[in-house]
Amino acid sequence: MRHFFALHRNVRLRIGLAFVHKLIDAMILTFIAIYLAAHVGVALAGALILVFAVFAVFGMLTGGHLSERYGRRPVLITGDVVGTTFLVVMAVAYHAGWGALAVYFSYAVVKFGTNLALPANDATIIDVTPPEDRKFVYTVNYWMINLALGTGALLGAFLYSAHFGAVIIGGAVAMAFALTVTVTLVAETKPETPRPPVKLTGLAQFVEGYKVVLADSTFRRLIIAATLILTLEGQLSTAIGIRLSTHFPVQPVFGFGAVDGVQMLGILKAVNTALVVVFALVVNTLLRRMPDRTRLYSGIALYAGGFAVLAVTNDAWLLLAAVVVLTVGELMNLPVQQALLAELAPEEGRPRYLAAYYLHIRFGQVVNSVLISLSAVLAAQGMAAIYLLFGVVVILQYRVILARRPATAEASVSV
């Protein structure tokens, strides 16, 4: 705790507000899909949920560009203003009976606002966090986000049926609180650097800024690695989840009684979340002196290997063991991956780099959808082989990234 309170105030505030934002998201986003399916049908609901991705990409890229031009704080405030305003509109639409589409489009704009602020949020943290503290900061942030997601999903599940309108109002109040904290306590962190003469304006400047980012081959490799890691994570809810729901035989699991495949999937997710919340800070402390190269390679091997086991076994205890193994790999890898992101995103143009990096979330969704289709025609062993191949590709990407890393960088980040 002493280490946490020694961090810059902006970092402590943004980590706390990350809890608020993710809690709102977990309480509303999961259940709005159920709400839409009940009111407009499953097929249209699925298409509408996909549109969220369009709003997210547009918001992130716009936010990265604006944060670089005008600073972090104005974009953070704008994102929270948009989020608060349209959560209020969403609550009015829900209670006034304006219809499911009005509720949906209100939340789509909320998602635009939260994603608009995302690059500025991460840039604010990186700007004032020295390299030697970054793994600790990202571990705490990751712990806080997982706690928020678990808490929000649990609260949303119990409140949805009878009190979904109250959940939306609560989200608006929480977002207004986040806005107040940002306005009153969060300081601007954009480095004071001489600005070169502006030769381009408007859309041309926007496009040119992102062309510079995507021309960075080392950063592209980091995006590829992040995409494949996120794709593996998504397999638990998609291809692996589908396999368990159809092929997992009902069997006893200590403490849970006899469970079917869907229930087993819920247990695996709960165990993963619980392990992250309980052990994230412990693992980072134990491994703080392990070289980044060893930590990355070992973590990815455990992560991919754990998913490969999940792809083929129907034994409950092996499934639980695999989740423990992949969670350890996740905790080993993620802080180093985030520290590398901070290191590879240069001070000049940092929000654009972060916005481009977060495109890996959308790329991962695309790869996930492809793997769902493949799982219908490939044997379980084939899916396991794909997961292991992803692990090899990720390690190869990190191998190049670390080889191009200045020798002083690893020393500063690995203490």
Domain ranges of the chain: 2-188, 210-413
**DSSP H or E stretch at residue 23:** helix 9-40
Query: How large is the average pLDDT for residues 216-232?
Result: 92
CA 387 to chain centre: 20
Q: List, as one string, the DSSP characters of 79-129.
A: HHHHHHHHHHHHHHHHHHT--HHHHHHHHHHHHHHHHHHHHHHHHHHHHT-
pLDDT bracket for residue 26 (50, 70, 90): confident
Checking if the pLDDT of 405 tops 60, the result is yes
Give the model confidence (pLDDT) of 388-400 as tens digits. Answer: 999 999 999 999 9
Please give the share of the chain, as a percent, with pLDDT higher than 90: 40
Q: pTM higher than 0.85 for the full model? A: no
Checking if the pLDDT of 412 tops 70, the result is no
Checking if the pLDDT of 184 tops 90, the result is yes
Query: How large is the average pLDDT for residues 212-226?
Result: 87
Identity of the highest mean pLDDT range in 39-53, 255-269, 287-301, 352-366: 287-301
What pLDDT, on the 0 to 100 scale, is given for residue 68? 82
| Helices 217-235 + 292-312 axis angle, to 10 | 30
| Helices 316-344 + 134-185 axis angle, to 10 | 70
Checking if the pLDDT of 375 tops 50, the result is yes
What pLDDT, on the 0 to 100 scale, is given for residue 56? 82
Checking if the pLDDT of 85 tops 50, the result is yes
Single out the residue of 29, 55, 69 nearest to residue 160, CA to CA. Answer: 29
Give the model confidence (pLDDT) of 134-176 as tens digits. Answer: 888 888 888 898 888 878 877 887 788 788 899 999 999 999 9
Token pair recorded at residue 3: 């280490």
pLDDT bracket for residue 30 (50, 70, 90): low
Checking if the pLDDT of 200 tops 70, the result is no
Q: List, as one string, the DSSP characters of 158-221.
A: HHHHHHHHHHHHHHHHHHHHHHHHHHHHPPP-----PPPP----HHHHHHHHHHHHHT-HHHHH
| Residue type (1 letter), 209 | G
Single out the residue of 38, 242, 20 nearest to residue 160, CA to CA. Answer: 38
Token pair recorded at residue 302: 């455990």
Which CATH number is 2-188 given? 1.20.1250.20
What is the separation, in whole angstroms, between the first and last Cα of the chain?
Answer: 18
Fold held by 210-413: Growth Hormone; Chain: A; (1.20.1250)
SS3 341: helix
SS3 6: coil
What pLDDT, on the 0 to 100 scale, is given for residue 383? 94
Please give the share of the chain, as a percent, with pLDDT higher than 70: 92
Checking if the pLDDT of 197 tops 60, the result is no
pLDDT bracket for residue 74 (50, 70, 90): very high
Cα–Cα distance list, 227 to 166, 239, 319, 357 (Å): 36, 17, 24, 9
Token pair 């991460």: residue:
122
What pLDDT, on the 0 to 100 scale, is given for residue 209? 53
Greater confidence (199 vs 22) lies with 22
Cα–Cα distance list, 259 to 11, 125, 204, 240, 268 (Å): 42, 43, 57, 16, 12
Greater confidence (300 vs 219) lies with 300
CATH topology agreement for domains 2-188 and 210-413: yes
What pLDDT, on the 0 to 100 scale, is given for residue 414? 42
Give the model confidence (pLDDT) of 227-279 as tens digits. Answer: 999 999 988 877 888 888 888 898 888 776 788 887 888 788 888 888 988 88
- Provide the pairing of β-strand 257-259 with 251-253: antiparallel
Token pair recorded at residue 177: 């609180």
**CB-based contacts of 348, cutoff 8 Å, min separation 6:** 193
Greater confidence (83 vs 126) lies with 83
Distance between CA atoms of residues 136 and 110, nearest Å: 30
